[in-house]
Amino acid sequence: MCEANAYIIRDGEEELVMEAVDKIEPEDDGLRLVNVFGDQKFLHARIDALSLVNHKIFLKE
Amino acid sequence: MCEANAYIIRDGEEELVMEAVDKIEPEDDGLRLVNVFGDQKFLHARIDALSLVNHKIFLKE
């Protein structure tokens, strides 16, 4: 599997918002995250950066 | 390894821009892509969506 953990960057700190993320899709004025277990989360954020070998997705509000 | 292929969506079609992407970072008014071989590419685009289990990153201009 090739999932990654999603972090929101707030005040320069990484805050974990969802583990094992498979899909991220734009929705309204934010993002819908879906993990490999089928859990979903909506966030008012955008995808800022990726570091996939480290399994990290960085979001910003 | 957990890299993915990056595609630009143009007119609804997926156009491969880089294989085996490790990192994507915001730079100026675009993105810098770095693959697992250390190759780099700059694109005037943003990250639109991810489908990591399918090893796909979707960019839009």
ipTM: 0.94
A17 to chain B nearest CA, in Å? 16
A4-57 confidence digits (pLDDT tens): 999 999 998 999 999 999 999 999 999 999 999 999 999 999 999 999 999 999
B3-60 confidence digits (pLDDT tens): 899 999 999 899 999 999 999 999 999 999 999 999 999 999 999 999 999 999 999 9
Domain ranges of chain B: 4-60
CA distance A42 to A45: 9
Q: Quick one: B24 exposed, middle or buried, by C-beta within 10 A (0-12, 13-18, 19+)? A: buried
The nearest alpha carbon in chain A to B49 belongs to A25
Best residue in B37, B50, B56, B60 for a mutation probing chain A (most A CBs within 10 Å): B50
| pTM of the full structure | 0.95
pLDDT at A57: 98
The tokens for A10 are: 């707030």
Q: Do B26 and A4 touch (CB under 8 A)?
A: no
